Structures are given as C-alpha cells and as structure tokens.
Amino acid sequence: MTQQDAGSRFPSVGDGSGMTSDPRFYREELQLTFRNRGMPLEGLRYDATPTGMHYLLIHFDIPEVDLATWNLKVGGLVDRPAALSLDDIKALPARTEVVTMECAGNGRALFSPRSVSQPWLLEAVGTSEWTGTPLKGVLDAAGVGREAVEILFTGSDQGVQGEEVQYYQRSLTIEEANRDEVMLVYEMNGRPLEPQHGYPLRLIVPGWYGMTSVKWLESIEAISEPFNGYQMHSTYRYAQSADDPGEPVDLIRVRALMVPPGIPDFLTRTRLLSPGPVTLTGRAWAGRSGISRVEISADGGENWSDAQLGVQPSRFAWRGWTAQWNAQLNAAGGRYTLMVRATDTEGNRQSVEPEWNIQGMGNNMAHSVDVIVE
C-alpha cells in the first residue's frame, strides 16, 4: 500500500507503506499520542470519567471559536434553513444522557502489522454525562425535505488527511440522525464543553464509535446523496487491504476492560500482587446492546469463570463487573496472564485472538494483564 505518492509534500513515515510490524513506535505516532491522551485504565473505577481523564481524539487542531460570531447553520434540503446561536440551542428542550464513547481505533497498536496512526493500546474510552438537546427537534423545526437521504455534520476544524484538505465531516442516514438519543451537546459532566471536547457544541451519537460524534459542530445539512468524504470513504472502514473498500465502521463492538490489579512496575506496567483473595473489577459495554456475560481467565484463556455484573447506569453506558480470584504462588515464578471477555445481549463474544484489519479498526480482542504473585 502506498498511502502517499513519492514526491508528496507530506512524506510517509517508515517504508512509505503506512504500515509497520516494528514493535518500536515512530516519532509521528508519539506526536499524535501527546495530542490524544487515553484514559488510564484505573479510570474504569468511575461511573462517569472525570473530564480531565476522558480520552481525546483530535485529527487536526483544536479550532478557535468566538461565541460572539459563532452559530450553527442548519441547511441543505430543508424547508426552513436556520442559524442558531448557543443561547437559541440552550433554550430548546434539554436532555442529559450517560454515554460511553470509544474510539474506533482503540486496540490498533495491538495488531501486527499495524497502521501508522494514533497507536492506541486499550485506553481510548470514557463515559460522560452529556447535556444538550435532541437533534430530532432541530431537524423537525427545519423540515427535512423528502429527497434528503442523509444529514451531513461539519466541524470547524480543518486539516490535511490522505493529501486532501478538508473540514472534519461525517454523515448519518436520516433514520439514524432521528433516533431519540442523538443529541447536540453543550455540556459535559455538568460544565460547558472544554475546547478539546468540541466547545461550544458537538454531536453525540450514543452507541456508535466516537468518529461519528462530530466536535466543534458548525453546520448540519440535509443532502440528497450518501456523503462520500474522506472520513466516510477512505477511513473508518473494516478492510483487509489498501484496495479493499471494506465495510463502514459503525456501532461499538462488545468489550470488557479490567482495572489492573495490584501495583505496577513503573516501566513495564506488569502488576505485582500479594498472595490471597483479590477482587478484580472493571467495566463492559457494547454500543446499543446490553452486556449479558463477563468472564475472566487466570490461565491466558484456557479456562473461564463468570464475573458478577453490576448495574448499568444507562442504556448507552458501561456496566461494572467484579470477580474473585485467589492469587497463589506457582511454579512459573508467580506469573499469570489474567484475561477478561464479555458477551453482549446479541450473543457477540470477544475473541481471544486479534481479528486483523488494515486500518486497525474495532479491535475488541480480550484484555490481558500480566501479573506476578509474590
């Protein structure tokens, strides 16, 4: 795969293929990682992630927004185009929803070879209490025309990706856009959105991977053809090769994560535990579906036992789980690989082995944690 032609103004890293099997990371991946923090896994202990611990994904720059001139344009194939100020939007019926959001690239760096991009391991997830107004109300007020097939959402952040100068844009079908839970959001955890999370207004599409929840929202347009822009057509695809158009990435796949038990070794993050009973805890989620089962293994996935499920605070939020494990010395120097996997109410279960795709999307393989009991 040649992502960029020779002679590009933006030469690709490594061998130019856009892929690498090198276990070391490129400087460019590190650069992205500093912009786009992850949630430390101990953050799984909170029902709602403290805002400063929520993961971030910012493709370009955080745009500058002046509220004095900012408005949300509602246009395209609608009967009553509008330009709404933030006060106009805040005057509409308000709704608050607890939503777990996850980046579609979470787990990308666990694939080999991996796509050279934001190298998430497992920390691109967070849960917030989002407040805003249902998008449906705004669409109904504008009167979406019969010939419209999709709603296009445009953020005010601009950059270059795949050699293409673009604003960050994603679309939804009319049906998806009109679902009850889709919201135009101006508050996160009871405070105005912070600049990095989309101030002053963003879309939140519960159940979908994060790329759909467009930040710094500036315009909503009803359009007559499916939108084919870069963030729909060239990325966020489950594809096996550079020429494979693949399938679009949409709803969040089932996943459970564990709060790493014991104490960490600073550099390797391997965990140290004392012998005796340990309560393992974590969260599980699955887009729009519920969680029907969480299982843990202490032998790298040979044998599994059921965890206890906690309450799910909202339909779109993660669900807590706990499991008892008796940590014992063993012949392997006390070394164990603890694993957790979840099954959703549709019967989808996480696999232990990675199910590879070229862009590193939706890698929901079971979480493993190396521990030493001593």
Ligand X SMILES: Nc1nc2c(c(=O)[nH]1)N[C@H]1C(S)=C(S)[C@@H](COP(=O)(O)O)O[C@H]1N2
108 binds ligand X (CB under 6 A): no
Task: Give the H/E segment covering residue 308.
Answer: strand 308-309
Binding partner of residue 39 among Mo ion, ligand X, none, CB cut-off 5 to 8 Å per kind: none
Tokens 């706990």, residue? 322
Q: How far is the CB of 54 from ligand X (least distance, A)?
A: 6
Q: Which does 32 bind (CB under 5 to 8 A by kind): ligand X, Mo ion, none?
A: none
Q: Which two tokens stand for residue 308?
A: 């206890």
> Cα separation of 212 and 249, whole Å?
10
Considering beta carbons, is residue 38 or 320 the nearer one to Mo ion? 38
| Nearest distance in Å: CB 39, ligand X | 9
How many Cβ atoms sit within 10 Å of the Cβ of residue 332? 9
Site string for ligand X, 145-164 (x = CB under 6 A): ----------x-x-------
Stretch that binds ligand X, among 206-214, 272-280, 283-291, 342-350 (CB under 6 A): 206-214
> Residue 210 in 3-state DSSP?
helix
Query: Could you please report the per-residue DSSP string of 1-61?
Result: --SS-TT-SSPPSTTTTSEE--SS--HHHHHHHHHS----GGGGGSSS--GGGS----SS-
Contact (Cβ atoms closer than 8 angstroms) between residue 182 and residue 206: yes
Q: Which is nearer to ligand X, 283 or 293 (CB)?
A: 283
The CB-nearest residue to Mo ion is 103
Q: For residue 307, which of 323, 319, 285, 291 has the smallest C-alpha distance?
A: 323
Q: Does 214 bind Mo ion (CB under 5 A)?
A: no
Q: Phi then psi for 138, rounded to 5 degrees?
A: -70, -40
Q: Which is nearer to ligand X, 189 or 297 (CB)?
A: 189
Q: Does the footprint of Mo ion cover residue 198 (CB under 5 A)? A: no
211 contributes a contact to Mo ion by CB under 5 A: yes
**Of residues 195 and 262, the one with the C-beta less far from ligand X:** 195
Site string for ligand X, 54-73 (x = CB under 6 A): xxxxxx--------------
For ligand X, give the closer residue by CB, 215 or 319: 215
Identity of the amino acid at 159: G
Interface with ligand X, residue 168, by CB under 6 A:
yes
Binding residue (CB under 6 A) for ligand X from 214, 232, 252, 371? 214
197 binds, among ligand X, Mo ion, none (CB under 5 to 8 A by kind): ligand X
In whole angstroms, the minimum distance from the beta carbon of 259 to Mo ion comes to 23
Nearer to ligand X, 168 or 321 (CB): 168
How many residues belong to the site for ligand X (CB under 6 A)? 18
Dist CA 282 CA 208 (whole Å)? 21
- In the DSSP assignment, the letter for residue 94 is P
Distances in Å between the Cα of 153 and the Cα atoms of 173, 197, 200, 296, 348 are 11, 16, 15, 40, 30
Q: Encoding tokens for residue 34?
A: 């500093």
Residues that bind Mo ion (CB under 5 A): 57, 103, 210-211
Residues that bind ligand X (CB under 6 A): 54-59, 101, 103, 155, 157, 168, 197, 210-211, 213-216
